[in-house]
Structure 1
Amino acid sequence: MDNVVNPIIKIEDISYKYTKDLVLEHVSLEIPKGAFLAIVGPNGSGKSTLLKLLLGLFKLQKGKIELFGEDIRRFKAWQRVGFVSQKANSFNSGFPATVFEVVQSGLTKKIGLFKFASKEDKSRVKKALESVDMLGYQNRNIGELSGGQQQRVFIARSLVSEPELLILDEPTVGVDSKNVHQFYEMLEMLNKKLGITLILVTHDVGTVTDKVTHVACLNKKLHFHGDACEYNELDEVELSSIYGHGVQFLNHDH
């Protein structure tokens, strides 16, 4: 993207390797405030590594990352960043907690581990649940919900601290295929109505392009980064060259 003013994330020439083989190679990327970016690519393309670098879980080996205009090595305001992993696929369904309690746990750093939530804190929990259409389930045990419902609760848990940036790693893992479209519609609403900048890592190729504003194709190197409309204009030959194999387009509307 050209002429990005004050990007919320600025990645400059980062490379990363676990042993001698690079998993990320000279990746540069700018993400503006209010964007909904889908990062797509095959298995082993470096998507998860990039996320861990953005979340400060891995230390940079080469290059630079800025969050909200600050070098990530000095960045401390992590309450401005929410993260949702593939929890729905591995969550312990016997965990004894209500939906309300799970979302409220997202305020632990603010409230304190053994302190009571204020009226304002409880209002935040309800607001977060309402934003993902799960307020009616607040008293249900988290283990009683479907995978898709659980993932919505985990998103609410991230939203309760009112982050400006929300990063989601394969959030539809464990979500029934017939509910995937509704799930992406919910993410689109969070982006458009709440103004939250979203980064979505997904294996889906053609599923979310009508919801996101931008797409980045990653396969160790950044092969494409632009508007979703520009991505939709790529043909199967161009996409297959990025993925290293044939690409089949999927549409969850049908």
Structure 2
Amino acid sequence: MNNNSNEPIVQAKNLSFKYAKDLVLENITLDVPKGAFLAIVGPNGSGKSTLLKLFLGLNKLQKGSITLFGESIQSFKDWQKVGFVSQKANSFNTGFPATVFEVVESGLTKKIGLFKFVTKEHKQKVKKALEAVDMLNFQHRSIGELSGGQQQRVFIARSLVSEPVLMILDEPTVGVDSKNVHQFYEMLEMMNKQLGITLILVTHDVSTVSDKVTHVACLNKNLHFHGDAHEYNQLTEEELSEVYGHDIKLLSHNHE
């Protein structure tokens, strides 16, 4: 394994992917540096979730290559370095009989084994993860009693508890009340800047998050833009409309 500290955490080269005859991704080349906060944006059906599934090894490579931490994804085994948060809160079973603490603790299963004893140190890790997402005061509450935004914070804590180096989030604000979305992204920014976690975020909230992220990738089957957030914020509405295939004002892009 290559341990060069300058090596991108994720590196995709010439990626193409199709479902049956439907080409979803075409010739994607993308680097995610260590410490980056990358937002992947694009219209529905643009291939964003497919790209994440390739990064997570859930979709099998068809054409091109992916390396994680300098190692080919086909041989990569150290998955505890990678956290994943999906759109769970939007469809979570509110009758699920578990406390917030228990849900987060379940994120340690890979690290300690399914039937191993949970130590005092493990419990401290759970509390630390809950503290990071401002949910420690809810540790004894049932997960089903929480709002969508609170549940999603708990799922992030569940991913955080195994101390990942990279966290991948697929539209995590889908179940979050609009007034809490800004706070949610501030939490992600803190995780990136203070905890040093590299983040890859698929989002539709491009105007809300553009001042929090370090890099932006605009995806619509092809990669139409990939650069730092400052460059992205200088793009005109006409340039962005070419990427999205419709009037970009629908996304309330922030040019400030």
The verdict on a shared fold, with TM-score over 0.5 as the criterion, is yes
How do 1:1-254 residues align onto structure 2 when only pairs under 5 Å count? 5-248=6-249, 249-250=251-252
Residue 124 of structure 2 aligns to a residue whose secondary structure is helix
Aligned-partner SS, 1:194 = coil
Cα deviation, 1:195-247, whole Å, max 9, x if unaligned, reads: 00000001123121100000000000000000100000011111111000011
Deviates more, 1:200-209 or 1:53-62: 200-209
User: Tell me, what secondary structure is at the counterpart of 2:76?
Assistant: coil
Q: Under a length normalisation based on structure 2, what TM-score does the superposition of the two structures give?
A: 0.95
Please tell me the residue identity of whatever aligns with 1:250. Answer: S
Task: State the alpha-carbon separation in 2 of the partners of residues 104 and 246 from structure 1.
Answer: 45
- RMSD (CA atoms): 1.3
* Runs of 4+, deviation exceeding 6 Å: none
2-structure distance, mates of 1:176, 1:250: 18
> SS of the residue aligned with 2:17?
strand
Question: Which SS does the other structure have where 2:26 is aligned?
Answer: strand
Q: Deviation of residue 251 (structure 1)? A: 7.3
> Could you list the per-position Cα deviations for residues 49-80 of structure 1 after superposition, in whole angstroms to 9, with x for gaps in the alignment?
00000000011000000000000000000000
Q: Identity rate of aligned residues, in percent?
A: 77
Please list every run of 5 or more consecutive structure 1 residues that lacks an aligned counterpart in the other structure: none
- Counterpart amino acid of residue 91 in structure 1: F
Q: How much has 1:114 moved relative to structure 2?
A: 2.6
AA matched with 1:135: L
Q: Deviations over 1:5-30 (max 9, x none)?
A: 31111100000000112100000000
Deviations 1:115-166 (A, max 9, x none): 3210110000000000000011000000010000000000000000000000
Alignment check: 8 A CA contact 2:101 2:126 kept: yes
Q: Which amino acid aligns with 2:97?
A: P
Q: SS at the partner of 1:63?
A: strand
Q: SS of the counterpart of 2:226?
A: strand
CA distance in 2, matches of 1:251, 1:108: 41
What's the offset of the Cα at 1:250? 3.1
| CA-CA distance at 1:171 after TM superposition | 0.3
CA contact (8 A) 2:189 2:213 kept: yes
Aligned-partner Cα distance in 2 for 1:110–1:180 = 31
- For these two proteins, the number of residue pairs brought into alignment is 249
For the Cα contact (< 8 Å) 2:206–2:253, is it kept in 1? no
Q: 1:207 aligns to what SS in structure 2?
A: helix
